[in-house]
Each structure stands twice: as C-alpha cells, then as structure tokens.
A and B are shown apart, each in its own frame.
Chain A
Amino acid sequence: MISILAEQIGKSYQHIHALENVSFQVGKGELFGFIGPDGSGKTTLFRILTTLIVPDSGSVTVENLDVLKEYKKLRTMLGYMPGKFSLYPDLTVEENLEFYASIFDTTIQENYHLIRDIYVQIEPFKNRLAGKLSGGMKQKLALSCAMIHKPTVLVLDEPTTGVDAVSRVEFWEMLKKLKSEGVTIVVSTPYMEEAGLCDRVALMQFGKIMKIAPPQQVIDEYRRNLFSVKAENTYKLIEDLQRFPETGSAFPFGQSVHFTPKSPAFFPQMLIDFLLQNDHQNPDVHSIEPGIEDCFMELMTESPDAGDLSKI
C-alpha cells in the first residue's frame, strides 16, 4: 500500500536547483525520515507534498490524490507542521487547538484520543498564550493542532529543531504511537540519531536524494572499518591525520575523530606509531560501530559536489 508516490520532482528558484529528480515512495503507516543539511531541499519538498508550492516538473500523489489537481480534497487529509512555529501566539493553547479543530469541521472531544498523550502534557497550560510557551511545549501544541483532524498523512518539517533533548525523546515516542494508529508520517530532521528511529530514511543533499534505505541497512552497507581516534590536542590530530598516508577520511565527532583507512590492511598500531612520532600524548585508536552520521559523511564525500565544503 503506497501512501506517497513522488516521481522525478524538480523545483528551481532562479538559478538554484532546490530539487532535482527526486523520486521516492512512502508506504501507508510508514515513518519515513528525510535527513540532510540545511539547504538540501527538505522544506521545498515538504511544501510540494503539502500542496503549498507547485513543482516545476514531476508528479506527486498523496493517498492517490494528485497534489496539483486534487489539492482541495487532499488538504482535508493532511496534517502539516511547518519548520517555523506557525500557530497564533496571541491565542491560548486551547483556543489554537479549538480553532484548528473547528476549521476541519471537528471538535477536540471527537479526536481527543489521538492527541491525549501529547496534550495532557500541555493541558495544565491551556489558558496560556501559545507565544509564551517553551520551545518543547510549542512543538507539542503544534503536533496536537496538526493531528486534531485525524489526518491520514502527517508531514513534519524539523519538528525537534531547537527542542531540548528530553522533549525530543518524548516527541519521537509520540510519533511512534501515531504510527501504530496507522498514520503515515514523513519527518525531516537534522539530528542523525533521530534518523535511526525511522522505518526508512532518505539521505538528501543539494536537492537530490542520495540513498533511501532502512537506517540499519544504511549502516550495514557501510563498507569500511571505522575507528575512533583520540589524542590530547584534537586540532593538531586532525592536521596530522591529513598527512597520514593511510587516511581515507577523518571527521571530528565531538571529542574524538572518526577515521577510516584506505586499505583493509590497516591496523590501529600503525596509526598509534605515527601519532607518537608526531609528538602526540596518549593516542588512542579503537574500532567502533558506524552510526548513521558516519554513513552520511561518507555519502557526502562521494557525491560530486562535495568538494566544496562551504556549501554544507
């Protein structure tokens, strides 16, 4: 059962190709994630899915409805949460929710069961103006408003950006629960660890989809050995790694550097020796499991545009 079918979508703004030949499908009840850096075209893609902008080329159907021709019917079935908080800051929590329920010709009571788990957390503040809520509560309210009319497809543009870690975890729990109700969810996120919570992810860059696969498969297909390298002077470490003849790639990940060797014949002692020769204190090199972020970094390096890192 297919919920969203996109074929060869293209969209340009003047000279910038926001989307190029984007094709994908999302099954009914699937939790589908889009991952990519800022400016990779996620928001443009979501606006096309939600009938807000018209693509230059290609076709999109959502729940078998064409986004261009049958947008009126489609709008009754869509739940959309834009990247920017877009509820009325001068209405209270309850008034916002009531308004969105009423324009979809329903009531809060009718679909309360859908939003209960989220809404109970903000209900104590139901008389507070939406503009005065904290970031996490705003997002919970926005999700409630997007859900109140029982949409069959939910499109969430970076719902957890700017939200604290605890609220983010709670937010994803809610998405899982909604998914179990049979709602198709399309979500974008800049956080790699959230990608692992999706059924499938699409990695996007420069307006193109580079890979679509379940997160575990993305990781499994990671072809290289991955090592975490630590030394006391991280900055010098990166510089030295670039001179190391065996270096395939080296990306800083917080305190450590994720390192991949060029040949399978590499073993950690080679690098430790090299680092000791270069005056590093207590270098540590050990093999680690790749995460989705490593895969993304690798895909980015392979893409032809990746030479110019300033674009990221």
Chain B
Amino acid sequence: MRTILFILQKEFLQIFRNRMMLPIIFVLPLVQMLILVNAATMEMKNLNIFVIDRDYSTTSRKLVGKFAASPFFRITGQSTVLSDAESSMKRGKTDIILNIPANFEKRLVKENRAEIQFLINAINGTVAGIGYGYAASITSGFNREIVSEWQKIPAGTIGAQSIQVKSSFWYNPELNYKVFMVPAVLAILVTIIGAFLSGLNIVREKEIGTIEQINVTPIRKYQFVIGKLTPFLMIALVELGFGLTLGKLLFDIPITGSLFLLFGTAAIYLLVVLGLGLLVSTMAKTQQQAIFISYFFMIVFIMMSGLFTSTESMPDWALKVNVLNPVAYFIRLVRMILLKGSGISDIYRDVISLAVYGVAMLSLATWRYRKTV
C-alpha cells in the first residue's frame, strides 16, 4: 500500500510538471464543448431552396411565402426556368428546388388537385431526408389551409382536418440538439483522458528506459498498474466535473439524474478505458505506436458510439459488434442519467456489463504487462 502511495506521489509530480498537462485538462473540454456542440448539429436550418414558379398566381405566391417564412429554409433564387435552378444546384448553392408548374392554381380550382415537385440534392442523405420532411410538412399544412378556405367547410367537420398530430418531445422538449450533444461530448472527454493519456504515460517509461530500472525493483505488477492508472482515473473524473459545469453554464443542459450515479458510472467506465490504455501500452514500444493503436480503436468506437447518429438504426451485425463498444454504453448512460433522470434500477444492466468488461480488460492488460524486457 505504501508503495502505491509513493508511485502515486511520483506520478502526480510528473503529470503536473508536464507543461502540456494543464492545457490538455482544461482547454480541451472548453474547445470541444464550444466547437463540437455548436458546430456538429443535425438540426436543419437555412436549407437553400430555389423556387421555380411558372404559375405566378396568388396561390403559388402564398406557398412560396410559407417557405420564406419557415426558419428552416432560405430562398436563394427565384426563376421561371428550371435550368437556372439546376445550375445553381450544380454549383452547390441550392439544396432543394421547388418546382411549381404553370396552371397550378387553375388546376387546383378546377380539378381540385395539383402537383408540385421537389428536387433534392441527396449527396448528404440525412440532410436530403430531413429537408424533404420539412418541405413536405410545410406543403401539407398549406394544403389543409387552402382546402378549408376554398371549400368553406366549417372547422371540425370531417375532411378539413381529419387527424391532427400534436406531438410532445420528451426529455428534450425543444428538440435542442445541444442537449443531445453535450452528454456525448462529456463521454468523449472522459474517454480521451482515460485511454490516451494513461497508455502514453506507461509507454513513455519504456521509451526513456526508466522501466528497466523500475522492473529490477521489488515493485509488484499490481502496484505499478494501480499507481499508473489511478491518477488518470482521478483526472478524468475531474474533467467530467469540469465539462459538466461548462455544459451547465454555457448550454444550460438539464441535469435530471443523480450526480453521484453519473460519477459512479463514469468510474466504472474508466476501468474499461484505462484497461484499454494499459493493454495498448503493453503492445507498443514507442509513444508513436501507442497513439496509432489507440487512435484506431477510438475512431471505430466513437464512430459507432451514437455520438452523432442513432445506434438503433445500425445494421444487425453492427449492433452485435457494438456490444463490445464501451463508448456506446457510456454515451447512452450519460444521456439517460442527465436527460432522462434514470436511476440505478433503470441502468443496472449496462452498468454491470461495463463493470464486467472493465475487470476483464484490466486483468488481460495486467497479465500481458511484463516486468521483463
């Protein structure tokens, strides 16, 4: 026990003497919060729409007015020739083309039906899908309006407004994307500190040769491992606290669940991540190798973690692979605790899985760590 304390003391001395360390601990979360949370948004605002209005009637202008009034769309151009719109899309200036044919109003009045066309740039499928959704909902709203206006059917009667959908969004009532992102960014922060810094720290001892001297001492394997990993467990938890404070102050994210549960979960998750860092350090001989190995794992884990995209929509095989993705567990847990206010009874299965994973990972890494060269 005393030996572990001495190793800890030495580690903290070295960590805080490292001039890069404090910036990493405090600037990293700030920048990630400000950039990732603000920039990486799935909310569609300012979709560029080009209007081809060949009808130029009251009704068609009213429809265009609806799009102009919507916060999601910005009208970039208007013309009566489709080729103008097409060339604008080719230049990347337009996301959606709204094509209103001539005789739009006339047909609507005479035949009670008319068509309009949307041409959507689907290079980014998600943007295209969501953009179409917005456009379709504006159109159907407009549709209801004119039907009731022209047919003079009293409100409430069948035909005018058959079924009206009133939705309420739980856990994020304003559909604020930041509320979705902040917990995930917190999880990424904890992951980076845990996996990268711990692995690098041990490999550094190999690189500068101090490990050779340490290995000849009576320090036991477990003492070395605990002494090496505990500082980063503590730093990562401090980081989580700091990030959470930033999230509250900057984005006013809800903290619905218990903070104690959040930090407890984070500590368990860190067992997995630190174990991974240690495992990487047993494989790598230089810090460069360690960075590349960690980077490889992290990219896969983070991309499949549900940071930006929903994990539920992944193909079956990917869902099965994701059972091994610790980042996915943690992002899910942080969101559940912070946004939904989940208690231990709601999440104990995930927490237990993480704990088992952590113990397995740490045991494997400790077993692989050799006190010989």
Binding site for B on A (CB under 8 A): 47, 50-54, 72, 75-76, 78, 80, 82, 84-91, 95, 99-100, 102-105, 145
A87 near B210 with CB under 8 A, answer: yes
Interface of B, helix, strand, loop or mixed by DSSP: helix
Nearest chain-B residue to A79 (Cβ)?
B216
A84 near B209 with CB under 8 A, answer: yes
A82 near B213 with CB under 8 A, answer: yes
Q: Which residues of A contact B3 (CB under 8 A)?
A: 102-103, 105
Closest 4 CB pairs of A and B: A86-B209, A102-B6, A80-B216, A86-B213
**Within the complex, what minimum Cβ distance (angstroms) separates A137 from chain B?**
17
Q: State in angstroms the CA–CA spacing of A80 and B2 once bound together.
A: 23
Q: State in angstroms the CA–CA spacing of A51 and B217 once bound together.
A: 10
Please report which residues of chain B, range 161-220, place their CB below 8 angstroms from some CB of chain A when the two chains form the complex: 208-213, 215-219
A99 near B10 with CB under 8 A, answer: yes
Q: State in angstroms the CA–CA spacing of A51 and B17 once bound together.
A: 32
**Within the complex, what minimum Cβ distance (angstroms) separates B266 from chain A?**
29
Q: Which residues of A contact B209 (CB under 8 A)?
A: 82, 84-86
Known: A78-B216, A104-B217. A52 touches B372 (CB 8 A): yes
* B208 partner, pick from A89, A103, A104, beta carbons under 8 A: A89
Q: State in angstroms the CA–CA spacing of A145 and B210 once bound together.
A: 12
A100 near B217 with CB under 8 A, answer: yes
A75 near B6 with CB under 8 A, answer: no
B321 within 8 A of A: no
Q: Which residues of A contact B2 (CB under 8 A)?
A: 102, 105
Question: Hey, what's the 0/1 contact readout for B358-373 against A, CB within 8 Å counting as 1?
Answer: 0000000000000011
B13 near A75 with CB under 8 A, answer: no
**Within the complex, what minimum Cβ distance (angstroms) separates A158 from chain B?**
13
Known: A87-B210, A95-B13. A50 touches B216 (CB 8 A): yes
Q: Which residues of B contact A80 (CB under 8 A)?
A: 212-213, 216
* A88 partner, pick from B14, B216, B218, B219, beta carbons under 8 A: B14
Q: Which residues of A contact B210 (CB under 8 A)?
A: 86-88
Nearest chain-B residue to A96 (Cβ)?
B10
Q: State in angstroms the CA–CA spacing of A90 and B207 once bound together.
A: 14
Question: Hey, what's the 0/1 contact readout for B2-24 against A, CB within 8 Å counting as 1?
Answer: 11001100100110011000000
Q: State in angstroms the CA–CA spacing of A222 and B351 once bound together.
A: 76
